[in-house]
Every structure is written in C-alpha cells, then in structure tokens.
Structure 1
C-alpha cells in the first residue's frame, strides 16, 4: 500500500512593488513567498552526518528557477545545512527531477584554485579534491550510508523576476539513495544556516522569517532587511556563538540557550549541566527546519517521557511493545481506537528558551503513524524523540513544533524571534 504524506510547498509569488538588487543584495521591501500544503508520494530525505538519520514525512520546499534559460527546480529548505545543491542531469535512470547544466549559458564550474574551493567550511573540510578537469570536487556523505557526489559550481538563481548571478552550489551528478525507486519531487536542497556558502549568506539579507501552517492554510516565507512592524509580540532568544572549534558543536547552526521543559505547568527538575553544551560541544540546542520532529538528549527525554506518561495515566492507552520505536527514536506510543475522532485533552509541553517559549499542545503532541494499526487501533507516538538513540548528542527543535509560530532569524543582531500567530492571518497581513 502506498502511503500518502504531506509536503509543504513554498510557492513563489513576487509582487510588482518589490525591488531587489542581487549580487551585493539590497532590498527596499520584503521578498514574500507564500506557503501551501500539498499531498505527494512517500519519500525519504538523506541528512548530513551531524544531523538526523531517518526518513522525513514532511519537508519544507521552495520552488524557483536556475540557469539561463531558466529551469524550474524544487529544493528542500533546510536551516540545518550550509551548501545548497541540485541533482544535475548527467546520469540516467534517476527518478528525481534534475537540473541540466549543459543547457545553461551562465553555468560555471568552480576551479580547484578558487578561494571557494580552498576555504574550509563545515561541508568541505580541507583538503578538497579535484576532478580530471581541475574542477572543485564535492562529496556529501549521509548518516544512512547514502552519498551525493559532483562539483561545486555557480549559476544564476532566479526568484520571480529577480536573479542572483554567481550563486555557489553543488551540482551533483551521482550518488546512492535509500529510496532510488521512489517518485521524488525535489531537485535538491537549499542550505540556510549561518555558513558562508549558505543561500541566505550569499543573498546577503540581514534576516529571514517563516511561518509554517498547521493545517490547510497559507503560510509564508519572508526575506527582509526591515523590521516586522506589524508583529509586536516577538520574544527574542540570543544565538549562541562559540569561537573555539569543538568536535561536537556546529558553529553554523542556529543554536539557542535551552532553559528546560514544562509539562502542563510543571517544570521538569533537570540539572543545568544537561541543558547546555559541554566541553566537547555536545548538547547544543538547534532550530532546524530540515528535521520534522523534536529530539532531546537521553536524560531530558526520559524525564519528559515519564512526566507525560504520568499526566496521561488513565487518559491514553499505552502501546505495550518495548521493541517498537517510531523512526528509531520515538518510543512513547499510544493506541487510539480507529473510530475515535478527537484526541482527549492532553498536557501541553513547553520548550523554555532564554527569553522565549515554545508551547506545544493538542494534535502537535501526537503523530499517528501511517499504516500502523494494532488491535483495531492506530498507533500514535509522542512527537518528541531520544536523540541518543540516533547517535546525535544534541537537542534539535524540528519544524513540526514550529507550526503557527512566527520564527525570525535576525542575523544582524544574532538572535531568533518567536511569536505565536495563525499563519493564514500572517500571510494576509504581510501580503496586504
């Protein structure tokens, strides 16, 4: 049986009054991209080694065009990655839509002697390698043993009527995939972290924001150098920056200070030492649009799981299967009768950050596993997982728990703004 999943598509809609000048980018107004929800076939998305290694049922994607003449592409929007890349049309038999560099007059491979190739980044540690044409060779490896390989290149990325020439990206012409037989709908990935090769760094905007809809409504993605004057209630949490390289700390990630968790109004009694990075960098808290759910380090997850179990005792029937863990890391699951249409009242979970709070309630707390039926009941799992089970020593706040929140990445002031909003209303306010 083919299971249908949801993909969030960012559909480009540029208004005529927007003026953009790419290269040395300036913006007199906001660049606005609406989000819609659309169903598509099941797909698996590989993640980089220092991110999560499981299949994502929901991804955020942006549709734009690349090259001259323009070729339409769809890219996963990922604040947890740096290098943007496209699957290029130099091999056959690939199910994923591809970009053909031979058809673009503005496509330029990056030479091995280029500073872009010789400067160390998270994605390309020194030394880099060269192909037979002395082009900068790129190889990305993933935690599920898949890989993507090709060359660094530049081309014009077009958003509506505006273009950004000379954008650096990976043009991947080969690789292994955990889902090569699936009907993939995306051409590549758009890296949006703080690294020098990320898309937002190359665009040179001082901030970007998004609002992810929680149901069949419009959301919005905004690039802007201005203030969100219509939104008065943003609470800011500072971005943590560590200048010294640490083995398990991603300095390009959007890392924030975690203060703890509340279940209903009960603050979990967690020691401060497990809520912040240790001397190796392990234990950072990242906001990641490329991850679906939220993952906590082992001790914090255990405390949250036990308290949620305690507060739902007698309300929900626990799945009694110690060998079952959804996506390998979410092992608190319940049985919901097939004829049950509404969830009972559940205790809310709050993620407490320095200066801001993310409150998760209602249907965002449980995820019904597609096709998983036990004893005439659906299996529904808590949408928090144990990052230790994935071999990831970090807290990762996924986009499922960012629904109906305005998330502003203020790069100039090194902070993240968070405010609860209805994404369809936010879209109307910004588009008016």
Structure 2
C-alpha cells in the first residue's frame, strides 16, 4: 500500500479492471458495512475532503479522492474490522474504491490501496488514536520501516525537531490537516538563496504552506523560489553537467531542468548539496537524490537526467511540497501529540535490518 502523509482517506481497490487486480472483495467480508449518506460519518467527518462527498443511488456515502499527479479514485465509504498482529480493530472507516483515473497505469497496477496518514478525522492514525508514528524510506528496493506509537531506539541519533504550523481559521488554500512545517530558506552548497523569508510563509489566503507529503514523489517549490534554486544549481554545476536544451520538454509536468549525461559514464559527478532549512531543523539532499533518469529517453549517446525539484506553479499547486524521494534515508517522526516533526539522517536499509524487518 502507498503510505501517504498528504491525504486522509485510506482505501482499497474493490473492483477488478484490465489494469488493476481485485484486492478486496467486500462480498466475502461478514463485517463489511457501507456508510449511509445520512450518517454523521458521511455528513460531518468528511469535512476536510478536497472533493465533497455525495449520495449515490443506493443512498450510500460516495467519495472521490484526487491527487496532485492527476490520479483519482472513487467509491463508497465503509466500516470493517482491521486485523493486526495482536488484535482486531472494529469499525475502521475506509474507501472501497471501484473506479478512477491514473497518470501512471504501470505503477497503479501494483498498488493495493492507500493508507491515509494526515491529521484529518478519518485518517488511519486519527482513527487508531496514535500520538506518534515514524517511518524510514530506503533509497533502494529493500524493506523500509513504519512504526506506530512512541518507540525508543538506542542506536538512532537524536532527532532535530521543527514545529507544525497550525492555522485554525479556514483559509481557501491552506490544508489544515496536512503536516505543515515552516521552510525558512534553501542553500546550494554554502550559498543561501537571496530571497526574503516572507516568500516561504503562507499568505492571507493560506497559499504557500510547506507540506511533508510521503504520497508525492518529488519536491515542488513555488515559482520564485524554484527559479532562484534552478539558477543557482545551474551556476554551480556548469563545469560538470550539460543542460538538456529543449524548451518543450518538462519532466512530469513540473521539472524543466534536465541534463545530458553520457550513457557510458559510471555514476554522477560530484554535485553540490541542496539543503532545505526549517525552523529548528534542516534536510540536505545530496548525490543521486538530486537527479533522476528519465526512463526511455536517449539523445545521441546521452541519457537525460532531471533535477528532482519541480515548479509548483506548473502543477497548479499553491504550496511547497516535500516528497518521499527527498525523505529517503531520513528517519521521519510525526509527533502529533507534541505538534512537531523530527528528522535525522540514517541508512534506512540498515535500520530495517537492526529492527528485524530487513531482507
């Protein structure tokens, strides 16, 4: 399942299609109960959904969930028992999704469903009552880590914490149930981008919040900040990288800084780090996490690699979004009870092995 700190509703695929297998058959579950559209669960607890729920022809609560990459799923809300190692938890609300659209059919065909982990009323962590959870995403195809509750790990270095930004007043562009932190600046190697701190702060409409979102792949910055970062990165890599000059090419709709790298080259050249500076903590992106190869695109003897920061404006997103690619090999702790996010660099594949989860 996809672990998504940027969305609320957990869901499973409940209908087989030509591109997606059936993962959950509600007819075989004796405890499966659809949510009526007249129930408080449907009318009140869905208030933070980006698309309002509706009532289908069977008078059941119908939900449509859409994501920044243009993927969407829809189906009915339902209750069922969720079984864990030591216990059964009854009446967990989730989505039984039977249709949708996708921007990446190959990846979606591998997806069982999604675990919604934000701070909304119907998120998995809220329904379970967990005060804290942590994860560690490996940079390779190896087992990562997901832990619920307060866990003491002796070998983990102390975390740096940044407070969550909470705005109680409803604003049109501010997601109140997201894990919002305050980005205060960005530096490339030792050079801090020459921008006022105010460009990183939400405005009077709520636009400009910084969300930690494990359900988004890359990191997206609002236009002025993205442009400043792009120009500084080009400046510092001019001697080691060749820019791919094609004004019509934009990778995944938002990443327009790409490079030509010889196919015979082993590894990337030494690149300057990009560090996002938060209130009380920072996250440094280094090495191969800075560039991603574009699958199947070859120009002459060169592969095309793109910068893993994109322009939020090109996606129509009024926010800064820190995706899971830049959270790789970081221990991420979401301390809901104390309204903060903690982070520390760690080899997630080794952390998984130490905790008895690795292959």
TM-score normalised according to structure 2 size = 0.93
Q: How does 1:74-153 map to 2 (within 5 A)?
A: 75-89=1-15, 93=18, 95-119=20-44, 120-123=46-49, 128-141=53-66, 147-153=72-78
What's the offset of the Cα at 1:276? 0.8
**SS, match of residue 355 in structure 2:** helix
User: For the structure 1 residues 421 and 244, does the alpha-carbon distance in structure 2 shift closer, same or farther, using more than 3 Å as the test?
Assistant: same
Task: Identify the residue that residue 429 of structure 1 maps to in structure 2.
Answer: 354
* Equivalent of residue 381 in structure 1, options 306, 310, 314: 306
Structure 1 partner of 2:159? 234
1:194: Cα distance to partner? Answer: 0.5
Structure 1 residues 368 and 268: CA distance shift in structure 2, 3 A: same
Number of residue pairs matched by the alignment? 356
Residue in 1 that maps onto 2:171: 246
Q: Distance in 2 between matches of 1:423 and 1:77?
A: 16
1:341 CA displacement: 0.5
Within the alignment, does 1:419 sit opposite 2:344 as a pair?
A: yes
Q: Is the 8 A contact 2:262 2:302 kept in 1?
A: yes
Counterpart Cα distance in 2 of 1:331 and 1:144: 16
Q: Deviations over 1:240-268 (max 9, x none)?
A: 01000000000111100001101001111
- 1:215 is displaced (CA, Å) by 2.4
Distance 2:173 2:199 in 1: 15
Question: 1:190: Cα distance to partner?
Answer: 1.3
| Alignment RMSD | 2.1
CA distance in 1, matches of 2:121, 2:319: 23
Output one character per residue of 1:86-126: Cα deviation in whole Å (capped at 9) or x when no partner: 2213x665633331111100101112232111104221766
Structure 1 unaligned regions, length at least 5: 1-74
| 1:292-307 pair list within 5 angstroms | 292-307=217-232
| Structure 1 residues 204-283: aligned runs within 5 Å | 204-283=129-208
**Between 99-108 and 182-191, the greater mean CA deviation after superposition:** 182-191
Q: Following the alignment from structure 2 to structure 1, what is the Cα–Cα distance between the partners of residues 316 and 347?
A: 35
The two structures have a TM-score, normalised by structure 1, of 0.78
1:301, CA displacement in angstroms? Answer: 0.5
Q: In structure 2, the residue corresponding to 1:431 is in which secondary structure?
A: coil
Judged with a 3 Å threshold, the aligned counterparts in structure 2 of structure 1 residues 176 and 420 are, in CA distance, closer, same or farther, namely: closer
**Cα distance, 1:135 vs structure 2:** 2.0
Q: Paired residue for 1:290?
A: 215
Q: 1:399 aligned to 2:324? A: yes
CA distance in 2, matches of 1:399, 1:210: 11
Deviations 1:255-287 (A, max 9, x none): 000011010011111112211100000010011
Q: Relative to structure 1, is the Cα distance of residues 161 and 186 closer, same or farther in structure 2, using a 3 angstrom cutoff?
A: farther
Change beyond 3 A, Cα 1:142–1:304: closer
8 Å contact kept, 1:97–1:184: no
Say whether residues 1:198 and 2:123 are aligned partners: yes
Q: How far 1:426 sits from its partner (Å)?
A: 1.8
Gapped regions of structure 2 (runs ≥ 5)? none
Could you tell me how far 1:181 is from its partner in structure 2?
A: 8.1
**1:205, 1:417 → 2: CA distance?**
16
For 1:8-45, what per-residue CA distance to the aligned partner results, in whole angstroms no more than 9, with x for missing partners?
xxxxxxxxxxxxxxxxxxxxxxxxxxxxxxxxxxxxxx
Structural mapping, 1:168-207, within 5 Å: 168-178=93-103, 184-207=109-132
Query: 1:153-188 CA distances to partner (integer Å, 9 max, x unpaired)?
Result: 011122335332211011122334455688702132
Partner of 2:271: 346
The alpha-carbon deviation at position 219 of structure 1 amounts to 2.3
